[in-house]
């Protein structure tokens, strides 16, 4: 019962916060490009406010998988390539392990978002 209550509370939080609703739907949004990440979608498609974007970036640094680079929080899958280089050169940002990491980051953001 407690898990159900938590799930309902989380869903209400998502429904009452447009940026969280956008993020929760992003991985399934058929318009995703495999060459751009979460931040691009927030800035270009959702047109996030400076305050919301700042909160998103700050929360990214508290995610367990954080790369150590605030501008490229998803880690490179290749130890020989920087997180930035991997992002800029990749054509598979929303598939496989990269998808898993992005969904994990989105879930972290939703869980810890302060409205």
* Alpha-carbon gap, residue 107 to 93, rounded angstroms: 17
* Alpha-carbon gap, residue 17 to 69, rounded angstroms: 27
Q: Using CA atoms in the order 61, 74, 32, 35, what is the torsion angle rounded to 10 degrees? A: 130
What pTM, to 2 d.p., does this model score?
Answer: 0.84
Domains in the chain, number: 1
List the one residue out of 105, 110, 104 whose CA is nearest residue 61: 105
- The per-residue pLDDT for range 25-56, each reduced to its tens digit, is 888 766 678 888 998 888 887 888 889 889 99
The pLDDT of residue 1 is above 50: no
Range of the domain at 39: 2-112
């Amino acid at each position: 019962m407690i898990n159900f209550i938590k799930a309902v509370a989380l869903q209400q939080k998502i429904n009452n916060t447009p940026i969280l609703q956008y993020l929760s739907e992003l991985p399934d949004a058929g318009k995703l490009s495999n060459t751009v990440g979460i931040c691009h979608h927030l800035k270009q498609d959702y047109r996030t406010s400076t305050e919301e974007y700042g909160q998103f970036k700050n929360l990214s640094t508290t995610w367990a998988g954080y790369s150590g680079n605030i501008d490229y929080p998803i880690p490179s899958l290749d130890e020989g390539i920087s997180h930035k280089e991997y992002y800029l050169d990749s054509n598979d940002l929303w598939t496989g392990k990269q998808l898993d990491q992005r969904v994990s980051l989105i879930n972290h953001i939703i869980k810890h978002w302060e409205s």
